A and B are shown apart, each in its own frame.
Chain A
């Protein structure tokens, strides 16, 4: 029931956010209508960061305590994180072509984001290949922790190296978001972020539930085999 409410809320917020971002918000003075991709691009990557942070926490807890619950959390978050990272790259690519002039370029930020997608795709592959649940969980936890360490690199890449990608608009200590983004654009961005956040927790709770069902089936099969 609670999950159904979360899902409905996500849907309503997404519809509100899309309408506000794509219709109500003004076009950007420099980029024109293309800039509206921001309303999806920034929320997508922030949610992906959150997902992999949860993978990191769940993996650390699993290595420490060895509880299946924490592994299920990490594995579930990783799947959704891969989805949102892929979305971010697709959206960024569509944004890049008209503004930068290219779909893709191998600058530090784009390259590290591609590495993030690769690491966690490898994570999902690893999880599906290793049959022994405990070994799969331990290997996954180690890879999950390593993968998460790519995120601070992605974030700092635009400061440390010369890149085509511009510095952050939101996640920075020296400037407030409203110094970079006009309030008329920041509000719809905030709504979209909230929408993506609720959608993420909805998907996460679904996926965790799925993991629990799989565990139950596996256990009952073991008893049946005895």
Chain B
């Protein structure tokens, strides 16, 4: 009898917790917004945001000396200009998925404090004739002899 009470109580707790976790995740964890969703908001939202999409091919301008990167994040319909100063991850490149963190400036340019690259669930070795050293060549190697 006592065991059955425990069992029923346990099941109720399980159900409630599962429902709560699911609900919280659905509502609160919108991990990133798309450029279209951002444009749909009225005015520039002055808050910390994550914007996700594809780095628009042909949009990337990099100044490796100053380590500044200007590019557009696109969701296929709309895109947003992004400015970033720092070192982006190895997999960051045009035509690939990226998530940027930061704030949207008054000028409509997204000032990113962090750039994150998405990667696919696919893994394969280099194709015949491909140079393995080009894979990680996006970030320039440090000049030897100095910091």
Contact = CB atoms under 8 A, between A and B. Distances in A.
Interface in A48-85: 63, 66
Contact of A101 (B25, B114, B136): B114
A138 B6 contact: yes
Given A63-B3, A63-B6, A108-B29, A185 B123 contact: yes
Given A29-B130, A153-B21, A162-B30, A168 B88 contact: no
Interface string A165-188: 011110000000000111011000
B92 interface: yes
A35 interface: yes
Contact of B123 (A28, A112, A145, A149): A28
Interface residues of B, number: 42
Contact of A31 (B21, B25, B52, B119): B119
A101 B125 contact: no
Interface residues on A, range: 35 or more
A101 B88 contact: yes
Interface of A: 26-32, 34-35, 38, 63, 66, 97-102, 105-108, 111-112, 115, 138, 141-142, 145-146, 149-150, 153, 157, 160-164, 166-169, 180-182, 184-185
